[in-house]
Structure 1
């Protein structure tokens, strides 16, 4: 089973990892979402708090926009698979992740149907 974390800004992936205050956590098994995804609202943006949450929640995968090298290296050291520099809606990124086709640096087209059925 994988646990995916996506820092959010509304319907989109937060442009910067360290400024996100809304977090989505999704449990995935065999390319299928398990249970109800959780949204967590952080009290304030905190890159260290987010890294700590990732470790405490046993997150295996991270989809994010920009991330500082220090945090990237720390999370990679903690065995988190990171897809960074992703621009676009989180629902589209999640669909591509589930399909196994999301790559770091992907710029996703603006979708007119940004409502994922969970």
Structure 2
């Protein structure tokens, strides 16, 4: 089974705000029947920060999920309505966030910086 995931970036971390991200990590995930997964990542630089353009990219590219930090309710509802899973209020390095997602252990509100309790 294949999945597509988008994570707004700020350096190597999840961007603190969805609407201000100028880079995103797009992850193509292939989950194998034996329970293992392969994740191919690519970073895309956006021409400008825009929540509307980001939503268009998410829908046009057929993303299954978005992992972000702060997101306005309007965009959260829109993406959910379009059947995109939204994991919001997630903070931390992208590699740790992606690892948790692949393990099926990521929840909205997860804080994955060192010394956090999550």
Q: Taking structure 2 as the reference length, what is the TM-score of the superposition?
A: 0.89
Distance 2:93 2:68 in 1: 11
Distance 1:33 1:44 in 2: 30
- 1:32 aligns to what? 37
Shift in Å at residue 38 of structure 1?
1.5
- 1:94 aligns to what? 98
Matched, 1:60 2:64: yes
Where do residues 10-29 of structure 1 align in structure 2 (5 Å cutoff)? Answer: 10-29=11-30
Aligned-residue RMSD, C-alpha: 1.3
Matched, 1:75 2:79: yes
Distance 2:62 2:108 in 1: 21
Runs of 4 or more consecutive aligned structure 1 residues displaced over 6 Å after TM superposition: none
Shift in Å at residue 110 of structure 1?
2.5
Distance 1:73 1:29 in 2: 27
What is the SS of the residue equivalent to 2:66?
strand
Shift in Å at residue 109 of structure 1?
2.7
What is the SS of the residue equivalent to 2:107?
coil
- 2:110 aligns to what? 106
- 1:43 aligns to what? 47
Shift in Å at residue 33 of structure 1?
2.5
Aligned residues: 110
Distance 1:15 1:33 in 2: 27
Range with greater deviation from structure 2 (22-31 or 85-94): 22-31
- 1:115 aligns to what? none
